[in-house]
Amino acid sequence: QVQLVQSGSELKKPGASVKVSCKTSGYTFSSYAMNWLRQAPGQGLEWMGWINTNTRNPSYAQGFTGRFVFSLDTSVSTAYLQITSLKAEDTAVYYCARRMAAAGTWWFDPWGQGTLVTVSS
């Protein structure tokens, strides 16, 4: 079955960097775009952007440029999210999600289990 398995929780100090992995299985990695979403504690879902798994071209949503980097290792069907210069407000659960498409619309299925990144001194 299709699975997205993310790396474990991280506790980082302000100013540090973190790299979250999203290992996929059960489907052809290059056939679907990979998206990243964030959920701050007690808040809703926020889309961060996506990466084209064919061209490796990333696209970042407003508010997620500069410190956020999406990358791939196609040899192991894995996507990565790196965040640099971490701030307390980056504390959130980060999700990877496969993007599904049909007739001009897109949705996310499935999602990784989420990675909690806590930024605290």
Q: Which residues bind other proteins (CB under 8 A)?
A: 44-47, 61, 95, 100, 102-114
3-state SS assignment for residue 91: coil
Query: Taking the chain, what is the end-to-end CA distance rounded to the nearest angstrom?
Result: 40
Please report how close the Cβ of residue 101 comes to other proteins at its closest, in angstroms: 9
Residue 93 C-beta: closest distance to other proteins, Å: 8
Q: Considering the complex, what minimum distance in angstroms separates the CB of residue 66 from other proteins?
A: 18
Long-range Cβ contact pairs of 53-59 (< 8 A, separation 24 or more): 53/29, 53/79, 54/30
Q: Which residue number, 43 or 84, has a Cβ lying nearer to other proteins?
A: 43
